[in-house]
Structure 1
Amino acid sequence: MNDALNVAVLGAGSWGTTVASLVSANANTTLWARSAEVVAEINSQGQNSKYLPNARLHRRLRASDDLEYVVRACDVLVMAIPAQSFRRMLVEVRSFLRPWVPVISLSKGLEQDTQLRMTEIIQQELPGHPVGVLSGPNLATEIMQGFAAASVIAMDDPRIVGRVQKLFHSGLFRVYTNNDVVGCELGGVLKNIIAIAAGMGDGQGAGENTRSALITRGLAEVSRLGVALGGQAETFYGLAGMGDLIATCTSVKSRNRTVGFELGKGRSIDEIIAEMFMVAEGVKSAPSVIGLARDNGVPMPISEEVYKVVTGKATAKDAFRGLLRANVGQECQPG
């Protein structure tokens, strides 16, 4: 336990709460939430029943709805904020945050208007702060139940990343380091689109062969675009790429797969989203991902079909017909 370090986690959804609980084993950790009710429950009962029913949080974790208090005291700032609210939150904390405090993103989305990654937004709004991303096949409910899991912390500076790694590494939650911030961040973003496709197939009863093919060809799409945008190819075959992709495409706990599954059953995207109180980042990110792919001349046939469905331009059945009509080439070549 590093009692000298204060960690602030902003965002008390399922993943933010889970990470805050994990880090509490290693440092003084305060979880910021807008809801006074959530704060009171965490502090008095050690639970966040809205987002993590029946889970017991670390006894040292504290929560607050006072943003200035939480941020001014922190030595590391962890952002568990949905992508479309991410910049606004950074602007809110800017005047409270001390210089050179590392800022770590947990978000797996892109900003719609700019197509920017969260670490790029951090660099714009909080220049001079070391930035990083934590990403991997991490289903919050399983981690809180005590199942083993692994993740990657990616930062440019090898000295800082080693110190931050120790904050997140806890018990059965193993954390590895990587210097490929771009690749690790994009792996977490792009796999959400493929997970929607896998869910659409499952919702239509397409079978395990279809799911396996979607995951495999989806990984090819993810790595193609990721490398084109500056990521390292090997990153997409590690925890932040293939690992996260498999978990998100196959688990019933995955929100993006769930959206796809409901689309596959014939429901509309608006109807599905209206029933969800947690964000499925793939829905919001799909237009940005397709924009980046087209701008960089990267073919992404699976993602293109998902984009059409989540924007109401096609149905899930139309999407699968489109994939069956797509041209095929040699597997080892792009395309």
Structure 2
Amino acid sequence: MNRVDIAGAGAFGTALAITLARAGAEVTLWARAGASEMQAARENTRRLPGHRFPDGLRVTGEIADLMADVLLIAVPTQKLHEVLPILPGHAGTVISCAKGIHLTTGLSPCQLISRDLPGVAAGVLTGPSFAVDIAAGLPTALTLALPDDTQGAALQDRLSSPALRLYRSTDLVGAELGGALKNVIAIAAGAVMGAGLGESARAALMARGFAEMRRVAAFRGAQDDTLAGLSGFGDLVLTCTSDKSRNYRHGQALAGARPLDPAATVEGAATAQELSAHAELDTPIADAVAALCQGRVSVQDVMAELLNRPLKQE
């Protein structure tokens, strides 16, 4: 029996649990709160309503129940430092499903895993996806990155399903950065559309944002081809063009086009703040998003500053 454990019962962790169990895996899903209610209702009514749990999915509130050799962690990046130290330590492979950079340490999710769980093989599952699409069984393609390609190939087979297609990579740095950096650009894209600046402006922002993503990734040692794949360009397109994206909606809210949702996880805000702290990087969009999220500037101020940058060769 293919057994996979998942730590984190938010929308994405729940959706992965549903699709893996639907494909025949035995899945244990750990929830910090509300586990007994979900187990009884056979549904995550708060985070992913309307999607019934398959028979092979069990929800637990006891983290010691996570005993499989493969553990997926679907916890927001800024909360990983709270969960990693309390994991039982049985997994040989720990796959991050988080996107972002940890604000207080500057570490990626996989770097946090390697620091707090020495000896495990750390990897990342990332790419253009919404939880509701995965749970509904709609076709989705993701990147699975592990440094050891043999290990990656074995896990690719275990985690893929008829509707969830995984492509593997050995570029852990690039896969993680693609998922983190695109959230910053998505906030900016939401602000552009929320301010009524139009789709042409959004397209220009996405193109320049992608160039900024590639600069940061190159600086941090990623392979450029990785950013052109699912975990970079693919995820950028999705999150910059859909109201399903929390980061995109947050940008719209900052522009006054919708109410701010204080309960939403907006990883792009913390990532922008971390990037803007590095003066050696040319990150005008990330700098602007950080200032906007912190309330130091208005959308109009940001756009005026970006549009007044010196003209240059593309």
TM-score normalised by L of structure 1: 0.90
Alignment of 1:264-283 (within 5 A): 264-265=255-256, 272=260, 275-283=261-269
Query: 1:94-129: CA deviations, max 9, x gaps?
Result: xx213x610000010111111110111111111111
Unaligned runs of 5+ in 1: none
SS at match of 2:277: helix
Contact 1:13–1:51 (CA under 8 A) maintained in structure 2: yes
Could you tell me how far 1:266 is from its partner in structure 2? 7.0
- Paired with 1:86 and 1:211, the residues of 2 have a C-alpha distance of 32
Contact 2:275–2:287 (CA under 8 A) maintained in structure 1: no
Match of 2:39 among 32, 43, 47: 43
Could you tell me how far 1:26 is from its partner in structure 2? 4.3
Query: 1:4-37: CA deviations, max 9, x gaps?
Result: x43110110011111111222242110000113x
Match of 2:74 in 1: 80
- Paired with 2:124 and 2:39, the residues of 1 have a C-alpha distance of 27
Match of 1:187 in 2: 178
Match of 1:23 in 2: 20
Partner AA of 1:160 in structure 2: Q
Contact 1:42–1:62 (CA under 8 A) maintained in structure 2: no
SS at match of 1:87: helix
Match of 1:298 among 281, 285, 293: 281
Alignment of 1:1-335 (within 5 A): 3=1, 5-24=2-21, 25-36=23-34, 39-70=35-66, 73-93=67-87, 96-98=88-90, 101-265=92-256, 272=260, 275-292=261-278, 294=279, 297-331=280-314
Which segment is superposed worse, 187-196 or 142-151?
142-151
- Paired with 1:304 and 1:246, the residues of 2 have a C-alpha distance of 21
- The number of residue pairs the alignment matches comes to 313
Partner AA of 1:74 in structure 2: A
Identity %: 36
- Paired with 1:290 and 1:229, the residues of 2 have a C-alpha distance of 15
Contact 1:81–1:107 (CA under 8 A) maintained in structure 2: yes
- Paired with 1:109 and 1:284, the residues of 2 have a C-alpha distance of 8
Q: CA RMSD in A?
A: 1.5
Q: Which ranges of 4 or more aligned residues in structure 1 deviate by more than 4 Å? A: none
Contact 1:19–1:168 (CA under 8 A) maintained in structure 2: no
